[in-house]
A = this chain, B = another copy of it.
Amino acid sequence: MSLLTCDARGVYVISVTPFTDQGEIDWDSLDRVVDFYFDKGADGLTILGMMGEAPKLTQAESRAVAERVIKRAGGKPVVVGVSAPGLAAIGELGKAVMDMGAAGCMVTTPGSLKTDPQIHGYFGQVSRTLGDGVPIVLQDFPLATGVQISDEVLGRIIDDIPQVVMLKHEDWPGLAKISKLRRAEAEGRRRISILCGNGGVFLPEEMARGADGAMTGFGFPEMLADVVRLAGDGDMDRAQDIFDAYLPLVRYEQQPGAGLAVRKYVLAKRGAIGSAALRAPGAGLTPEAIAEVERLLARQEKRLKELN
């Protein structure tokens, strides 16, 4: 499998981890959802992220999930989230998954980082821990981590740490950050790939600002693929039409905590996974919420038909 580079583009879906109703990993569903993502237009996958319920897995399970997905992906790129409270655990999991054929490792900022020099220093330590040649995706997600990465320190990280090849961009609001990064590149800074997260809720604007694609999850990954492809073709109006049709559900999935249950409900309904269950601690949808999702799905289908 080839390694992630600064030129990566397209849609890297943040994969769910399917569980049975009893909370065990559902390996058949894991295979099935991998196939589903690629069928719906994914260019790659990202596993063991926050929406993959990674912190609820044991270390042994994390490795087994990585191995299974990388094998099933059959050569298509798989990025693995390796964030952990300590460098030793990051190094151990990172080395293991790269040996399995991962395309790169995604790392975010622990909440203990308080100053710009600490943030910069941390990614230096991470790159030395993972070792030369391991591509790093820097996940910039202040709403979840509590760490705000300034444009300035992000620039210094890009300047000093060549292993950082991609930004998983989910600063919020972060549109200006994309524009500034691209302007700095026009003035000579090394280019990195920018894939956008946040459930895709700003994807049309992000693509127009210069992003290379999406790295996020959604019950309808074909929307992400369509918007990225149409934006790449310059057809922003059609991209926005498609996006707007899905937006009521995208918005509904934005609810912190509840969002993943919505996503798994939709994936289960579409046959991509066997059960919508989250591993504890994590609740499913209430009957009221299911009714709301069903209503949004019916309206979405109707609207998509109008657009064709």
Interface residues of A (CB under 8 A from B): 53, 55-61, 84-89, 92, 111, 114-118, 121-122, 125, 142, 148-153, 172-173, 175-176, 179, 201-202, 205, 208-209, 240, 244, 247-248, 251-252, 254-259, 279-281, 286, 288-289, 292, 299, 303
Are B115 and A148 in touch, CB under 8 angstroms?
yes
Are A281 and B87 in touch, CB under 8 angstroms?
yes
- Tell me whether A173 and B88 are in contact in the complex, defined as CB-CB below 8 angstroms, given that A122-B281, A209-B288 are known contacts: no
Are B251 and A86 in touch, CB under 8 angstroms?
no
In the complex, chain B residues whose CB is within 8 Å of the CB of A205: 252, 292
Give how many copies assemble into the complex: 4
Could you list 16 further interchain pairs (A-B, Cβ under 8 angstroms) beyond the known A176-B286, A205-B252, A247-B247?
A59-B59, A114-B148, A115-B150, A115-B152, A117-B150, A117-B151, A121-B281, A122-B281, A125-B280, A173-B257, A179-B288, A202-B255, A205-B292, A209-B288, A244-B244, A247-B248
Are B59 and A116 in touch, CB under 8 angstroms?
no
Are B281 and A117 in touch, CB under 8 angstroms?
no
Are A251 and B247 in touch, CB under 8 angstroms?
yes
Are B59 and A89 in touch, CB under 8 angstroms?
yes
Query: Shortest CB–CB separation between residue A93 and chain B, in angstroms?
Result: 9
Contact of A255 among B172, B209, B280 (CB under 8 A): B172
Tell me the bound Cα distance from A251 to B249 in angstroms.
12
Tell me the bound Cα distance from A115 to B161 in angstroms.
20
Tell me the bound Cα distance from A254 to B198 in angstroms.
12
Tell me the bound Cα distance from A89 to B251 in angstroms.
32
Query: Shortest CB–CB separation between residue A113 and chain B, in angstroms?
Result: 9
Tell me the bound Cα distance from A299 to B245 in angstroms.
13
Are B92 and A172 in touch, CB under 8 angstroms?
no
Tell me the bound Cα distance from A254 to B254 in angstroms.
11
Are B117 and A56 in touch, CB under 8 angstroms?
no
In the complex, chain B residues whose CB is within 8 Å of the CB of A208: 292
Are A56 and B281 in touch, CB under 8 angstroms?
no
Tell me the bound Cα distance from A37 to B252 in angstroms.
28
* CB-CB nearest in chain B for A247: B247
Tell me the bound Cα distance from A85 to B56 in angstroms.
7
In the complex, chain B residues whose CB is within 8 Å of the CB of A173: 255-259
Tell me the bound Cα distance from A150 to B120 in angstroms.
12
Are B150 and A92 in touch, CB under 8 angstroms?
no
In the complex, chain B residues whose CB is within 8 Å of the CB of A240: 248, 299
Tell me the bound Cα distance from A127 to B61 in angstroms.
22
- Tell me whether A89 and B142 are in contact in the complex, defined as CB-CB below 8 angstroms, given that A150-B117, A248-B247 are known contacts: no
* CB-CB nearest in chain B for A244: B248
In the complex, chain B residues whose CB is within 8 Å of the CB of A142: 114
In the complex, chain B residues whose CB is within 8 Å of the CB of A150: 115-118
Are A149 and B115 in touch, CB under 8 angstroms?
yes
